Amino acid sequence: MLQLPIPSAEEQLRFLSNIQRVFAEGDFTATYKYALLIAFADLAVELGADDGRELVLSTRQIGERFIQLYWRQVLPYGKGLPGSSPGVLVQNNGVQAAVISAIAAFRAAQGVETYQTARSIPEFQTLLAKVAQTVSAQPLNYLQNFGGTTNEFLYERAGSGKVQLKPGVAYCLRRFHPLVQQLARSHWVGHIKGNSRNYMILGEADDLENFLFATSRRSLQIMADGLRKLDGASCFYCAGKLTASDVDHFIPFSQYPRDLAHNFVLAHPSCNRSKSATLAARPHLERWLTRLEIRSAAIAEIGQSSGLVVDAQVSRQIAAWGYASAKESGGSAWLAAARYEPIDESYTGCFSN
């Protein structure tokens, strides 16, 4: 496939400026545009490359990511706080968002709790077709309208059911993924808080972002129990015996805020805190890649039972992106408490096999 030069510094700044204008000058009557930006950023990481080439995406690929994002959000939110009452959060300034309604109807009709289970039944394809149609008719038509005009800086239509991210866009989404995610999520939370029909549901709640985007504690506990049986009662990083343990994101959640079963390891709370939002050093990376290869099926089984998204190849692709980005920016990797080393070509070479 023909590679294109990466965007210049000026082009990258122009991209960021336009992203900022989308949030500042765009018309957000629903939360769909935030979901679309998150979907673009995630898919650019998972399917794109570190050059300036275009990336073609189908509306079904985007629609599937919408279902993942909204899956939990169709459940009633409520903490029993004074002056509040449980209810499904309204995500549109008019009637409830069509994607929310479609997912809620599907869950009620099929009696499924987890997204991973839903994907395995034939009726899911009907839901996906509905959501993809909504994505095509609404946010894809309007995301690039801001400041009183249309600025097609992100994508263009590429035939029936497809869009093409323009040259350099996938690269910028990969490079600035944490920033795009943070902006979209914070504005999404603000949109819901600003809808007057949600006031009685929210009350004085301050954990809205966790409800919208975080994995449930029950799912994490199932994952932890399964990993303890699979990997044994030792810390993934220091190999010390585990008494208490944390379920740690190997690629930090702050860098890629999506919970994938194959990205989880068990660690001492102290090791988890010390590593924090840093990438792990090469010995840990090599061990993680080996584990990914030889225990992929077992981890997938645990992920299925916990309701988490299962995709070993996507987890590997995200890790390759994370280390390549860190190498480009001169980042360091965490080896142990207060011990770091620079990320060089040997790290990205781990993914060439």
Do 127 and 19 fall within a single domain? yes
- Of the residues 213, 248, 276, which one is the last residue of a structural domain? 213
Mean pLDDT in residue range 131-144: 96
H or E stretch including 190?
helix 177-194
Mean pLDDT in residue range 116-120: 94
- Of the residues 189, 213, 237, which one is the last residue of a structural domain? 213
Amino acid at 131: V
CA separation for the pair 185, 38 (Å, rounded): 8
Do 196 and 250 fall within a single domain? no
Query: For residue 305, is pLDDT > 80?
Result: yes
Residue 331 belongs to a domain = yes
Residue 259 belongs to a domain = yes
Main-chain phi, psi angles of 168, to 5 degrees: 90, -20
Do 300 and 162 fall within a single domain? no
Residue 321 belongs to a domain = yes
Number of domains in the chain: 2
Mean pLDDT in residue range 154-174: 96
* 241 class by beta-carbon count within 10 Å (0-12 exposed, 13-18 middle, 19+ buried): exposed
Mean pLDDT in residue range 209-229: 91
In this prediction the pTM is: 0.87
Do 140 and 13 fall within a single domain? yes
Do 138 and 203 fall within a single domain? yes
Do 197 and 223 fall within a single domain? no
Residue 1 belongs to a domain = no
- Of the residues 213, 241, 269, which one is the last residue of a structural domain? 213
Residue 2 belongs to a domain = no
Do 197 and 110 fall within a single domain? yes
Do 202 and 254 fall within a single domain? no
Mean pLDDT in residue range 169-175: 97
Query: For residue 80, is pLDDT > 60?
Result: no
Residue 255 belongs to a domain = yes
CA separation for the pair 32, 42 (Å, rounded): 15
Do 177 and 305 fall within a single domain? no
The predicted pLDDT at position 81 comes to 58
Do 16 and 99 fall within a single domain? yes
Mean pLDDT in residue range 290-305: 96
Domain range for 49 is 9-213
Do 222 and 202 fall within a single domain? no
Do 247 and 179 fall within a single domain? no
* 304 class by beta-carbon count within 10 Å (0-12 exposed, 13-18 middle, 19+ buried): middle
Residue 124 belongs to a domain = yes
Residue 249 belongs to a domain = yes
* Tens digit of each residue's pLDDT (9 = 90 or more) over 46-65: 999 989 999 999 999 999 99
pLDDT category at 290 given cuts 50, 70, 90 is: very high
